[in-house]
Amino acid sequence: MSLDLNPVSVSDYREVARRRLPTQLFDYLDGGSYAERTLHDNVEAFARLKLRQRVLRDVSVIDTRAEVLGESWTIPAGLAPVGFAGMYAKRGEVQAARAANKFGVPYTLSTVGICSIEEIARATGKPFWFQLYVIKDRGYAAELMKRAHQAGCSALVFTVDLAVLGARYRDIRNGMNTQMSVLKRLKVAADFARRVHWIKNVALGGRPLDFGNLREAVPNARGFGAFGAWVAQNLDPSMKWEDLEWVREKWPGKIIIKGVMDADDARLAMNAISPDGIVVSNHGGRQLDSTPATIDALPAIRDEVGDRTTLLLDGGIRSGLDIVKALARGADACLMGRPWVYALAARGEAGISDMLRTMQQEMHVAMALTGFTKAAEIDKSAIADA
């Protein structure tokens, strides 16, 4: 059977997405910064960790659920914020939020989503998370937080590792956010034109250049270039830990700090505002290259924060086995970005739903064969030679 009709693993969905998407869009999703070493290491570090197989235990009942930040998750892995997801499928953020809600995990809407906060709220009728960048226009940031709170968002994911943009060479080669020669524009246009599935489902039916959350900020802009330029110009490299007090003043709900990779920074975050959660994240290898893999940075940060906050991890999750490994290394739960967008680009909402069910089944097998019956009980003994 054709892979396009029956993708199963995250790598399957990635390959279908590669075939269907314009190269510029696929590389924006798939790529990382500079030589992409950190992007590669995020995945390879999980592969290097070996699970400790245990047998002849009663594993007839397996519970993959997790209680995270007062919410019950079907598996301890939510959907991370990914910018411009509506470029990958018709109203992509709405499809992702629906799939997450039906399965029972949180969806996180990016500041630079195609679909607006209000559209997600209308489409789902359930709480979701909202991700906010560090931006100079504090008035607009405050307005976004107000809109998210009014829409019922249950947590604010405040991303702190974007003081400046990392150099993503695939995007530069593909002419994204840069001035292109006439020849390059023609080549890019020709590549878009041959992606019939994308044209039919996204370009013609999905309003992919709507940019709902930034519509008022950049009212006359169209395309990645204009919005990318606005984001780059509005990143705030002057923000410091003490400025998080302003975020706490403006946001009445749970705050999750995303982008911590160092135990000292975790301590500073706890001292600054004692966040409800911290995400160990290197932005999926899209910012500073040659940083440690997130799964390698995780244990020291867990040692630093102890049980004082909820600790999440993103970067490198590609299977339910990886989720088990992350829990064993100290995470309370995970967030994953590329996997759900690959599935979205391949098969829309149904693809995300199937991918999540596959991850749950992979967790089920990994737990049964490491001797754990509850996700909440997974600890470092699940890792061989831990």
- Could you please report the per-residue DSSP string of 58-97? --SS-B--EEETTEEESSSEEEPP-TTGGGTSTTHHHHHH
pLDDT digits (tens, 9 = 90+) for 142-173: 999 999 999 999 999 999 999 988 999 998 88
Q: Per-residue pLDDT for 6 more than 90?
A: no
Contact 79, 336 (CB under 8 A): yes
pLDDT of residue 220: 67
The Cα 87–Cα 27 span in angstroms is 13
State the catalytic residue, choosing from 149, 197, 283, 364: 283
- pLDDT score, position 178: 64
Query: Is 149 marked active-site?
Result: no
pLDDT above 80 (res 210): no
Question: Residue 182's pLDDT is what?
Answer: 79
pLDDT at res. 46: 98
What is the mean pLDDT of the segment spanning 181-202? 88
Q: Does residue 258 have a pLDDT over 90? A: yes
What pLDDT does residue 232 have?
76
Does the structure show a pLDDT above 90 at 3?
no
pLDDT in tens, 131-143: 998 888 899 899 9
- Closest to 294 (Cα-Cα) out of 270, 252, 322: 322
Number of alpha carbons in the 13 Å side-chain half-sphere of residue 6: 2
pLDDT, one tens digit per residue, over 264-299 is 999 999 999 999 999 999 999 999 999 999 999 999
Higher pLDDT, 192 or 351: 351
One of 3.90.1150.10, 3.40.1280.10, 3.20.20.70, 2.60.40.10 is the CATH number of 10-382, namely 3.20.20.70
Strands (E), the chain: 66-68, 71-73, 77-79, 108-109, 129-133, 155-159, 254-260, 277-280, 310-314, 333-336
pLDDT at 102 (0 to 100): 97
Helices (H) and strands (E) in the chain, counts: 15, 10
Tokens representing 280 are 């160990």
Beta bridge partners of 78: 335
Structure tokens at 206: 């999905």
Can you give the length of the chain in residues?
A: 386
- Whether the per-residue pLDDT at 252 is higher than 90: the answer is yes
What percent of the chain is modeled with pLDDT above 90? 80
Average the pLDDT over 71-82 and give the result.
98
pTM for the complete prediction? 0.95
Domain positions in the chain? 10-382
- 156, with CB counted inside 10 A (0-12, 13-18, 19+), is buried
20-29, 33-42, 216-225, 268-277: which has the minimum mean pLDDT? 216-225
